[in-house]
Amino acid sequence: TNKAVIKMAERLESFYYRKAVLNVTVTRGIFDYIAAQVGEKKLFFLPNGANTRIFSPDFPVPTRLRERFKDKFVVSYTGIIGLIHGVETVIRAAERLQSVPDILFLIIGDGVKKNEVVQLANERGLQNVIFMDAMQEEELTPYILISQAALATAKKMALTLGTLPVKMFSAMACAVPVILSVVGEGETMLRAANAGIVVEPDNAEAMAQAVLQLYQNPERAKRLGRNGRKFVVKHFDRRALTRELDRKLQEVY
């Protein structure tokens, strides 16, 4: 909290932005923040997007996997279980839905908060939550594809306002509707895509109700999923984004 140190760090930060040939940002919020210091000429917006060949409804799903979850409405969370991700809220939402035996929460990933989240689920005696370790993209895709809904979450704090969760793009590319518990840029994008339901961060009841909405309206869920796939293919295909970056680099060099 030393003001002098913070001021020095901000000056150093701004110096490197100005000296850089090109600053690449993954969210519009970061883009606007740097543009206010150096202008837009030295900036390039490159969102994470998704590999739409791997994250695709056409990606093969092993029969044994489909059989394992065929009678379940799977709600998946795939990614880091860290300090800002609010996965505890997922557990509290799962607790509220124990009376609906068809609904299963699948949490895939690792992180500094995983043990705490697993312990919370165990303490609540939840039988509707399964934990799995982190996976490579090719391993992960089948688990997204057997999901009827995908969660993208973050705690409500200044640090997460400009968040565009990678897991949101991955699910949308797989034509799986997203339940987004993030304020800011991700919320705006999901609404524009009409690809899911936005709920207030840290609100387990709202998350549980969103899951129920999709569970009770499968046609709506499929429609939202299709919208997401179309949106990502059109605007956030990682191959197309990479080609745009390559063109930009050729311009500046």
Phi, psi dihedral angles at 197 (to 5 degrees): -125, 130
Percentage of the chain surpassing pLDDT 70?
98
Residue 125 within a domain: yes
Same domain, 98 and 185: yes
Q: Does the residue 55 lie in any domain? A: no
The pairing of strands 149-153 and 73-78 is parallel
- Say what the alpha-carbon torsion angle 222, 223, 227, 230 is, to the nearest 10 degrees: 70
CA distance 124 to 130: 13
Q: Does the pLDDT at position 197 exceed 90?
A: yes
pLDDT at 221: 98
- The verdict on residue 53 lying in a domain is no
Let me know whether 71 and 105 are in one domain: yes
In angstroms, the CA 66 to CA 147 distance is 10
Only one residue has tokens 């065929």, namely: 70
Residue 56 is assigned to a structural domain of this protein: no
In a domain, 58, yes or no: no
CATH number reported for the structural domain that contains residue 116 in this entry: 3.40.50.2000
pLDDT 10s digits, 199-247: 999 999 999 999 999 999 999 999 999 999 999 999 999 999 999 989 9
**pLDDT at position 1 over 60:** no
Indicate if 227 and 242 belong to the same structural domain.
no
- Does residue 79 share a domain with residue 27? no
CB contact burial 211-224 (16+ within 10 A = b; e otherwise): bbebbeeeeebeeb
Is 133 found in the same domain as 186? yes
Percentage of residues in the chain having pLDDT higher than 90: 70
**pLDDT single digits (tens) 59-77:** 999 999 999 999 999 999 9
In this structure, are 91 and 38 located in the same domain? no
Residue 71: inside a domain: yes
Reply yes or no on whether the pLDDT at 47 is more than 80: yes
**What is the per-residue pLDDT for 183?**
85
Domain tally, the chain: 2
Residue 7 pLDDT > 70, yes or no? yes
9 and 85: one domain?
Answer: no
What is residue 161's DSSP assignment? T
- Mean pLDDT of the chain, nearest integer: 93
Q: Are residues 74 and 170 in the same domain?
A: yes
**231 and 159 in a common domain:** yes
Instruction: Identify the band that residue 160 occupies on the pLDDT scale cut at 50, 70 and 90.
Output: low
Range of the domain at 13: 3-48+236-252
